Chains A and B, each alone.
Chain A
Amino acid sequence: MNGPLLVIFPHPDDEAFSSAGTIIQHRQKGLPVTYVCLTLGEMGRNMGSPIFTTREELPKIRKHELEEACRMMGIEDLRMWGLRDKTVEFEDEAELAGRFRALIDEVKPETVISFYPGYAVHPDHEATARAVVRALQEMGETRPKFLGVAFDRRTEDELGQPHVIVDVTEESEQKKDALFAHRSQTEGLLRAIDNAENAHVMELLQRERFYHYPFS
């Protein structure tokens, strides 16, 4: 990857889990990264134990966390689109794809990272993936490269091994910092990291997995 990177996800923390190491590597090469985060994850459930926030305060906290995570990853171009968590699938898909297309025309990315449709679990993830793929599909041969994040249980059975595996072992401390920035969501995960108790979690810090999409 030698050109601008465009990252599109619906929730603050989607980028940290799936792609923080890849983003950090990109920034270390001095390449621009634009991150469009569609919502503020304002419908998240974790209010802390003891309770430290409310449904109404959560968007402020998550916005602050998102900005901090972007600083950790070196992202200078963060765009928050202000859609509401859980409602992305009810937006007009063609309109959303059109907004993505305008964004691609502006940013001129070499690579786009987003979710892979059908294997992204959360309805907002799926809706984002469908609209991104739709925008790219319509671009024909001029489309940038696409790296799709898939984590449904069916993924490896149906899509096989990831097409691209980025070794982020050297960036794993920074990736941890980015995850930690989203602390309202990741506290439990960070405990698991500290105890090194979960092979899945350790894998997450060392390798980032992406799939290409079979555009027609």
Chain B
Amino acid sequence: MFRVILSIGGTDVKAIQPDHIQHYLDNHVATPLFVHVETTNGAYATHNDPDFHNAGMFIRNAKIEYSIGQIKGNGPYRVGLKLDHGWLYVEGLTDYEMHEEQLLLAGHDRLGRLACALHIDIKPLPQGASEVENQ
């Protein structure tokens, strides 16, 4: 079943190799970038467990530039980007995928559910109409 899905998505998700990520981050200092940042517990967490406090956020295609970008930790990993007027911080990252100028970092729990994500690209990430057109 996974093979079927792989052939559709063509994804190549791997466990984070910090050196590889650090290399990308170093190469993109002082570069205008588009980011997708997200944390989530899943929309049904409270429906499934009324005592659970659901929280989450995403921002898609925010434009940033950073002067320092680093990955830290022994896995799950943390990434901090020092912005012109502040910081971008994500913790709990476990997996990644890289295509040319696009870096996708994600944190998954043991069941493979997304907990957090940080995507970086030099051009805007797909959105809306461009996603429903044939790909």
How far in angstroms is the closest Cβ of chain A from B31?
19
A150-172 vs B, Cβ < 8 Å mask (1 yes, 0 no): 00010000000000000000000
* CA A61 to CA B135, docked complex, whole Å: 10
Q: Which residues of B contact A47 (CB under 8 A)?
A: 13, 106, 108, 112-114
A212, CB-defined interface residue at 8 Å: no
Say yes or no: A40-B5 contact (C-beta < 8 A), given A46-B113, A47-B114: no
A60-71 vs B, Cβ < 8 Å mask (1 yes, 0 no): 110110000000
* CA A45 to CA B11, docked complex, whole Å: 16
How far in angstroms is the closest Cβ of chain B from A59?
5
Q: Which residues of A contact B13 (CB under 8 A)?
A: 47, 51-54
Of the candidates B5, B106, B135, the one whose C-beta lies within 8 Å of that of A52 is B5
A126-149 vs B, Cβ < 8 Å mask (1 yes, 0 no): 000000000000000000000000
Of the candidates A46, A55, A57, A84, the one whose C-beta lies within 8 Å of that of B117 is A55
- Total A-B residue contacts, Cβ distance less than 8 Å: 102
How far in angstroms is the closest Cβ of chain A from B60?
8
Contact present for B5 and A48 (CB under 8 Å): yes
Say yes or no: A54-B131 contact (C-beta < 8 A), given A43-B40, A43-B58: no
Q: Which residues of B contact A64 (CB under 8 A)?
A: 8
Q: Which residues of A contact B43 (CB under 8 A)?
A: 43, 86, 122-123
* CA A184 to CA B113, docked complex, whole Å: 11
Q: Which residues of A contact B47 (CB under 8 A)?
A: 121-122, 153
A215, CB-defined interface residue at 8 Å: no
B95, CB-defined interface residue at 8 Å: yes
A213, CB-defined interface residue at 8 Å: no
Say yes or no: A55-B104 contact (C-beta < 8 A), given A43-B40, A45-B40: yes
* CA A54 to CA B104, docked complex, whole Å: 8
Q: Which residues of A contact B42 (CB under 8 A)?
A: 45
Which 9 pairs from chain A and chain B are nearest by CB? A49-B112, A57-B9, A80-B132, A82-B132, A45-B113, A82-B128, A82-B129, A45-B42, A59-B131
Chain A contact residues, CB within 8 Å of chain B: 40, 42-43, 45-61, 63-64, 80-84, 86, 121-123, 153, 183-184, 187
